[in-house]
Amino acid sequence: MAQKNVDERMSSLEKELESLKEKVERLERKDLPWWKQMIGTFADDPAHVEAMRLGREYRISQREDVDLAK
């Protein structure tokens, strides 16, 4: 068998294996509560990081308003 043919078949098998792994992971996650299924969804997403920063900033500002009202 030619080396090129073996390399092509190996590449195809690797892609198929990765696809199967993803399917298994999705099936395993279905047993988890919805909020645990979301873990990692926004990993390294700059928009999510910014949203968390703004939310934290807002919550802190609300605490300061409550402290001043006393």
Instruction: Specify the DSSP element, H or E, that contains 66.
Output: helix 46-69
Query: What's the predicted TM-score (pTM) here?
Result: 0.42
Summary count for the chain: helices (H), strands (E): 3, 0
Q: How far apart are CA 4 and CA 36, in angstroms?
A: 43
3-31 pLDDT tens trace: 879 999 999 999 999 999 988 887 777 77
26-59 pLDDT tens trace: 777 777 888 887 888 888 899 999 999 999 999 9
Q: How far apart are CA 18 and CA 6, in angstroms?
A: 18
Distance of CA 24 to the CA centre of its chain: 16
